[in-house]
Amino acid sequence: MRPEINKLLEMRDKALLGGGKEAVDAQHSKGKLTARERIELLVDLNSFIEIDMFAQHRATEFGMDKRVALGDGVVTGISRVDGRAAVVIAQDFTFLGGSLGEIHASKIVKSIQYALSIGAPIIFLNDSGGARIQEGVDALRGYGDIFYWNVQASGVVPQIAVIAGPCAGGAVYSPALMDFVIMVKKGSFMFITGPRVVKAAIGEEVDELQLGGAEVHAYKSGMAHLIAEDDREAISLVKKLLSYLPSNNMDDPPKVESNDDPERRDYELNDLIPEDPNKPYSMYEVINRVLDSESFFEIHKFWARTAVVGFGRLNGYVVGIVANQPAYLAGVLDIDASDKIARFVRFCDSFNIPIITFVDVPGYLPGTRQEHGGIIRHGAKVLYAYSEAVVPKLTVITRKAYGGAYIAMGSKHLGGDFVAAWPTAEIAVMGPEGAAEIIWRKELDKAKTPEEREELLQKFTKEYRDRIANPYVAAARGYIDAVIEPSETRPILIKMLEYLLTKREVKVRVPPRKHGNIPV
Ligand code: HXC
């Protein structure tokens, strides 16, 4: 064999070793896979074309001239995942802790640019100690470039981040700019400042997982959309997520053959809403009974649980589901639920995914905590996102649709294409009891005993409910397109969805603008 070929083969072997056998063993001993093992699990057999395998840093300070690894601590390339092209970036913790320097960063930027030019999703497997300390400002510049290109790719190709190890400091902002973040429960964390700095700055004692582990971000901060037990599960979640997404914003999401009858009626839905309007029921019942069987894939399951968002299928077509959850704090809209809904609606709109909204909402959450936290600002995002979305928007009001929350949740007034209500719907400015307290206050104040007052209140509440809080007043004005039997929700949604697939945007003419100014 020619020596040049031998040299190439030797270099390849060297590159495959990353930071060396010892570091690979250390990675395994933590229950983590290496970058290449993760890629192997993710991509279709023989589909991976590696780019920049022989890249090397050019730093010389602090002994860096002696610390070189081919690939510079990140494996990048183009592959197929379940038959569709995808760009993969996997940080290699075995070399200098996957830290990011100039060349490492430029490989990532090149990958994002490939994704943009071929219209393929980006999957970024993060496992890094952050900015490579020895490379100083070159490392910072690298992050800046990545953030810039994450933003250029936003809304053009889906971007999925897996956090499979440390992700600290400014490094967190690349995943934060992407569409979905999947965190591995063991050994992964995300925070701006680590425990040591926290202790020095404010005296708080906290460990890495308490500060920014997968569970914290799944339940409390909302940073993690999905969480996985280990690397393997995280990768299977990436594949599942991709199965609902188009490759880019010019494509439709992948349709599958459904073996669930599009005409299937579910008569149990007719009895789902309790007689007592204050009794809860689970919106999951509605979602799962209406969608193609077992197609619901929930996003942000543990965060802001008064709202539910996720992907599903109707007769094989991908849809985005947005719903209130009456089983959790009556399905009230609060700051986090508003953020969760607004972001999901905008994602669906960017990637041609029709939105199905199920409404049972008593309003926005009252109180100083919410008001001082900016519920006005956050609630406005929901209005903005729905008003701006041009994908088909179909809404079903199952029970309460009160006040501003009625308008926000995919109403006709924000461009809902088809708004249906179940006969149990209550559409009003506020709940009947509160309304009766206000409009019949004088009559109620005349009551001589508390019992008499309660009796009167019940009478007025019923009167308000009968006259106002039902779907027929809104239907009489055309604000509700149809009052439907709950059992026929699936066949009706499927038919309307299929009509709306050819929807063309009928828009009020607005002067050209760069972009609107969503109240972020
Ligand atoms: C250079 C780094 C590094 C870094 C880790 N290493 N982080 N080298 N720059 N940022 C090296 C270690 O020196 C070590 O080298 C090897 O990677 C493995 O690291 P260990 O510490 O042995 O691993 P572990 O015990 O698992 O701890 C991992 C870790 C820890 C928690 C990530 O290494 C750590 O705290 N690193 C520093 C993190 C940090 O402060 N990064 C800067 C954040 S600020 P050897 O020689 O042993 O192989 C930032 C700003 C970005 O990122 C701003 C952008 C806007």
Q: For residue 441, what are its two tokens? A: 């206050």
> pTM (2 decimals)?
0.96
Q: Which atom of ligand 1 is nearest to the CA of 131?
A: 52
Greater model confidence, 468 or 147: 147
pLDDT of residue 169: 86
Q: Is 310 in the pocket of ligand 1 (CB under 6 A)?
A: no
For the chain, which residues make up each domain, given as ranges?
Answer: 3-242, 267-430+470-500, 432-468
Which CATH number does the domain 267-430+470-500 belong to among 2.102.10.10, 1.10.1510.10, 3.20.20.80, 3.90.226.10?
A: 3.90.226.10
Calpha distance 504→508 (Å, rounded)? 13
Q: Across residues 409-437, what is the average pLDDT?
A: 94
Q: Could you tell me the distance, in angstroms and rounded to a whole number, from the CA of residue 96 to the centre of ligand 1?
A: 7
pLDDT of residue 96: 95
Q: Specify the residue for token string 């991908």.
A: 318
Q: Specify the residue for token string 């496992």.
A: 127
pLDDT level of residue 278 (50, 70, 90 thresholds): confident
Question: Which CATH architecture does the domain made up of 3-242 adopt?
Answer: Alpha-Beta Complex (3.90)
Residue 191: strand pairing partners? 168
Q: Is 384 in the pocket of ligand 1 (CB under 6 A)?
A: no
Whether the pLDDT of residue 502 is over 80: the answer is: yes
Q: Could you tell me the distance, in angstroms and rounded to a whole number, from the CA of residue 226 to the centre of ligand 1?
A: 25
* CB atoms near residue 426 (< 10 Å): 23
Whether the pLDDT of residue 516 is over 90: the answer is: yes
Q: What is the mean pLDDT of the chain?
A: 96
Whether the pLDDT of residue 412 is over 80: the answer is: yes
Q: Is 70 in the pocket of ligand 1 (CB under 6 A)?
A: no
Whether the pLDDT of residue 508 is over 80: the answer is: no
pLDDT of residue 433: 86
pLDDT of residue 511: 86
For ligand 1, atom 18, which residue shows the shortest CA distance? 97
pLDDT digit string (tens) for 355-402? 999 999 999 999 999 999 999 999 999 999 999 999 999 999 999 999
pLDDT of residue 509: 78
Q: Is 404 a catalytic residue?
A: yes
For ligand 1, atom 33, which residue shows the shortest CA distance? 129
Q: Is 143 in the pocket of ligand 1 (CB under 6 A)?
A: yes
Looking at this protein, which amino acid is placed at residue 191?
Answer: F
Q: Is 57 in the pocket of ligand 1 (CB under 6 A)?
A: no
pLDDT of residue 505: 75
Whether the pLDDT of residue 348 is over 80: the answer is: yes
Nearest to 398 by CA among 283, 498, 300: 283
Q: Which atom of ligand 1 is nearest to the CA of 140?
A: 54
Q: Which long-range contacts (CB under 8 A, 24 or more apart) does 458-463 make?
A: 460/436, 461/432, 461/433, 461/435, 461/436, 462/432, 463/436
Q: Is 331 in the pocket of ligand 1 (CB under 6 A)?
A: no
Q: For residue 483, what are its two tokens? A: 């009052």
Which entry of 155, 170, 373, 415 is annotated as an active-site residue?
170
Whether the pLDDT of residue 501 is over 90: the answer is: yes
Asked if 155 and 116 touch (Cβ cutoff 8 Å), the reply is no
Q: Which atom of ligand 1 is nearest to the CA of 19?
A: 48
Calpha distance 25→386 (Å, rounded)? 50
Q: Could you tell me the distance, in angstroms and rounded to a whole number, from the CA of residue 159 to the centre of ligand 1?
A: 25
pLDDT level of residue 277 (50, 70, 90 thresholds): confident
Q: Which long-range contacts (CB under 8 A, 24 or more apart) does 243-247 make?
A: 243/82, 244/297, 244/311, 244/318, 244/353, 245/121, 245/158, 245/318, 245/351, 245/353, 246/158, 246/351, 246/352, 246/353, 247/84, 247/85, 247/119, 247/120, 247/121, 247/157, 247/158
Q: Is 19 a catalytic residue?
A: no
Asked if 266 and 290 touch (Cβ cutoff 8 Å), the reply is yes
pLDDT level of residue 469 (50, 70, 90 thresholds): confident
Q: Could you tell me the distance, in angstroms and rounded to a whole number, from the CA of residue 63 to the centre of ligand 1?
A: 16
Q: Classify burial at 387, counting beta carbons within 10 Å of its beta carbon; exposed 0-12, middle 13-18, buried 19 or more.
A: middle
Pairing verdict, β 49-51 and 482-483 = unpaired
With H, G, I as helix, E, B as strand and everything else as coil, classify residue 373. helix
Q: Is 407 in the pocket of ligand 1 (CB under 6 A)?
A: no
Calpha distance 36→247 (Å, rounded)? 23
Which of 21, 57, 72, 133 to mutate for ligand 1's pocket (most ligand atoms within 8 Å of CB)? 133
Which entry of 73, 101, 169, 187 is annotated as an active-site residue?
169
* CB atoms near residue 282 (< 10 Å): 14
Q: Find the farthest-apart pair of alpha carbons in the chain and give their distance in angstroms, rounded.
A: 106
Q: For residue 256, what are its two tokens? A: 């599958």
Q: Specify the residue for token string 């680590």.
A: 194
Q: Could you tell me the distance, in angstroms and rounded to a whole number, from the CA of residue 166 to the centre of ligand 1?
A: 9
Q: Across residues 317-329, what is the average pLDDT?
A: 98
Asked if 117 and 54 touch (Cβ cutoff 8 Å), the reply is no
Q: Across residues 304-330, what is the average pLDDT?
A: 98
Q: Specify the residue for token string 């973040």.
A: 181
Asked if 231 and 186 touch (Cβ cutoff 8 Å), the reply is no
pLDDT digit string (tens) for 336-347? 999 999 999 999
Does 3-242 match 267-430+470-500 in CATH topology?
A: yes
DSSP string, 234-283: HHHHHHHHHTTS-SSTTSPPPP----S-TT---GGGGGTS-SSTTS---H
For ligand 1, atom 9, which residue shows the shortest CA distance? 132
Q: Is 74 in the pocket of ligand 1 (CB under 6 A)?
A: no
DSSP string, 168-187: EGGGGHHHHHSSEEEEETTT
Asked if 464 and 435 touch (Cβ cutoff 8 Å), the reply is yes
Name the least confident of 170-174, 225-229, 498-502: 170-174
Asked if 99 and 133 touch (Cβ cutoff 8 Å), the reply is yes
Whether the pLDDT of residue 116 is over 80: the answer is: yes
Q: Is 128 in the pocket of ligand 1 (CB under 6 A)?
A: no
The torsion angles phi and psi of 126, rounded to 5 degrees, stand at: -90, 135
Whether the pLDDT of residue 507 is over 80: the answer is: no
Calpha distance 52→87 (Å, rounded)? 13
The torsion angles phi and psi of 472, rounded to 5 degrees, stand at: -80, -25
DSSP string, 16-39: HTTT-HHHHHHHHHTT---HHHHH
Calpha distance 429→4 (Å, rounded)? 78
Q: Is 203 a catalytic residue?
A: no
Which entry of 119, 155, 222, 404 is annotated as an active-site residue?
404
Q: Is 59 in the pocket of ligand 1 (CB under 6 A)?
A: no
pLDDT digit string (tens) for 417-427? 999 999 999 99
pLDDT of residue 235: 98
Q: Is 77 a catalytic residue?
A: no
Name the least confident of 205-219, 359-373, 459-473: 459-473
Whether the pLDDT of residue 506 is over 80: the answer is: no
For ligand 1, atom 21, which residue shows the shortest CA distance? 97
Q: Is 245 in the pocket of ligand 1 (CB under 6 A)?
A: no
pLDDT of residue 372: 97
Q: Could you tell me the distance, in angstroms and rounded to a whole number, from the CA of residue 180 to the centre of ligand 1?
A: 25
pLDDT of residue 315: 98
pLDDT digit string (tens) for 143-179? 999 999 999 999 999 999 999 999 998 899 999 999 9
pLDDT digit string (tens) for 45-99? 999 999 999 999 999 899 999 999 999 999 999 999 999 999 999 999 999 999 9
Whether the pLDDT of residue 466 is over 90: the answer is: no
Which entry of 23, 115, 224, 405 is annotated as an active-site residue?
405
Give Cβ neighbours of residue 237 (< 8 Å, ≥ 6 apart).
182, 226, 228
